[in-house]
Amino acid sequence: MTDINFYGGVDEIGGNKILVKDNNSSLFLDFGMSFSIANKYFSEFLQPRKANGILDFTEFGLLPKVKGIYREDYLNHCGLTSDSEPSVDGVLISHAHMDHSAYIHHLREDIPIYITSESYLILKTLEDTGSTSFGEMLNLKKSFNLTPKKNVKKGPENRRSKGAECIVERDIRVIEPYKEFNVGESKVKSVPVDHSLPGATAFLVDTGDEAIVYTGDLRFHGRRREFTEKFVKEAKKFNPTTVISEGTRINKVNNVGEESIERTATKLVSNIKGLAIVSFPVRDLDRFLTFYNVAKNTDRVMAVSLKQAYMLNLFDGVGYPRVDEVAVYIPRKDWGMMGDECLACLEGNWLPSSKLHSYHTEQDYKNWERKFLNWDNSITYRDLREDPKDYIFGCDFFELKELIDIKPENGIYLYSKTEPFNEEMEFDFHKVRNWIDHFNLPLITEGMHGSGHANGVELLNMIREISPEKVYPVHTENKEKFNVLNDDGVKVVYPELSKK
């Protein structure tokens, strides 16, 4: 008998943590963060305490109280005992959005994490370039480890010491599309789907007595729609008893495709003489590609952030432009030397000038950023100020301050992101508007964003076509919209938030 326990994604968009369990094996489908609960109790400067291990998270139901899944260093530090063996056989990650993957951080390092190669590269980018406290997705730094440096045990070969920290690699298993693998006694197949970032996958899970299709997040109107179409065929062939389906946009009927955004943006950008500025999510390489194309269509060069450059470098031209096909924008940091004449160099100061200059500039940047400093196609605010009509500048929320240096005139600001849907986002969006107004730029949202999710008509047709015995709507605030499927012989079962 197979049990399905929902620890998130119930009556909310995101936070998916679904435990599929039978007598012989158990696995999690995703292990993501619930934005709605996290935003309810926490904010940028009111964060869960690391010192309290998982307890600040379990307090509000952000993490489920499941035994045998959490990392030993956290459990021990907050006075809980850890089990010798993990209680689950693996965690299947559908894609690298935080509401599906963020809480991997809290898991034991010996639980196998199954992800696609693209998801791996995205998580690697976030881990290598991020500075958040709970971002240990691929490598785990043993916290509260007081072992002095020279005595750090050289344990199994996946352990290595770095300073006083002991870094342990997680058991990451990169999966291939359409290739079956075992998790415990269950047979699993990853079937790629299209979503608003590379590497999204659905899973077909055969536990022996249940055949479960988990959609992850998907859409039929992106650049790789044929993936999702093929998924529907594969899922139908699988003859599932159960579909666990996302329903983010079950109440919507429209779609905006990348091609349409490209056309609209090309028209807008061709009509301006100044800098075109665009804000889109760094993980969404398809959206990046859209604006890369807009830049080409309008004889401009796409200028990306260091983080975006790092990600493109990891993808190495597979499916997306290479990092040397874009300009890399280097922001000024503490010393602020980049893009400025170094006064010490000009005045021939007491240190050999070039040495001082490179010392000042290098010192400002993190290791992962340094390789782009002397890149042929690196640019600074000066390039954007002097030749604004040559560029489209990818400028996210935290990069807005660059506009003070760039001083854009006769430009345009394209907001290519989901519209704000909660108070925090409203608040940030309000700030964006203030900045953009301050610089007298028109702010365009209309036609600039297409969702990562299929609409209601597409979702219902998809489930009718797959034709399972029952469907659980998750990742939605409108589960009742699935009810029409009861007339087609598909039993709609509302998932309940599991407490045990």
Give the residues lining the site for Zn ion (CB under 5 A): 97, 217
Q: Which amino acid is at 448?
A: M
Distances 113 to 17, 28, 105, 130, 475 between C-alpha atoms, Å = 13, 10, 11, 20, 21
Sequence-ordered strand ranges (E) for 338-449: 378-379, 391-394, 412-415, 443-444
Nearest distance in Å: CB 432, Zn ion: 22
Nearest distance in Å: CB 196, Zn ion: 7
Find out whether 5 and 29 touch, Cβ atoms under 8 Å: no
Q: Which is nearer to Zn ion, 70 or 288 (CB)?
A: 288
Bridge partners of residue 393, in order along the sequence: 277, 303
SS3 87: coil
Q: In what order do the strands lie in the sheet with 412-415?
A: 378-379, 327-329, 301-304, 391-394, 276-279, 412-415, 443-444
Q: Which is nearer to Zn ion, 300 or 453 (CB)?
A: 453
The residue with tokens 């943006």 is: 265
Nearest distance in Å: CB 100, Zn ion: 6
Q: Which is nearer to Zn ion, 126 or 277 (CB)?
A: 126
The residue with tokens 């849907």 is: 421
Nearest distance in Å: CB 248, Zn ion: 8
Q: Which is nearer to Zn ion, 122 or 400 (CB)?
A: 122
Find out whether 377 and 327 touch, Cβ atoms under 8 Å: yes
Nearest distance in Å: CB 449, Zn ion: 14
Find out whether 248 and 16 touch, Cβ atoms under 8 Å: no
Nearest distance in Å: CB 219, Zn ion: 10
Residues 6+ apart with CB under 8 A from 320: 198, 285, 288, 289, 312
Q: Which amino acid is at 181?
A: F
The residue with tokens 């209680």 is: 87
Nearest distance in Å: CB 348, Zn ion: 55
Give the span between the Cα atoms of 295 and 412, in whole angstroms. Answer: 14
Q: Which is nearer to Zn ion, 422 or 440 (CB)?
A: 422
Nearest distance in Å: CB 477, Zn ion: 15
The residue with tokens 């394209």 is: 414
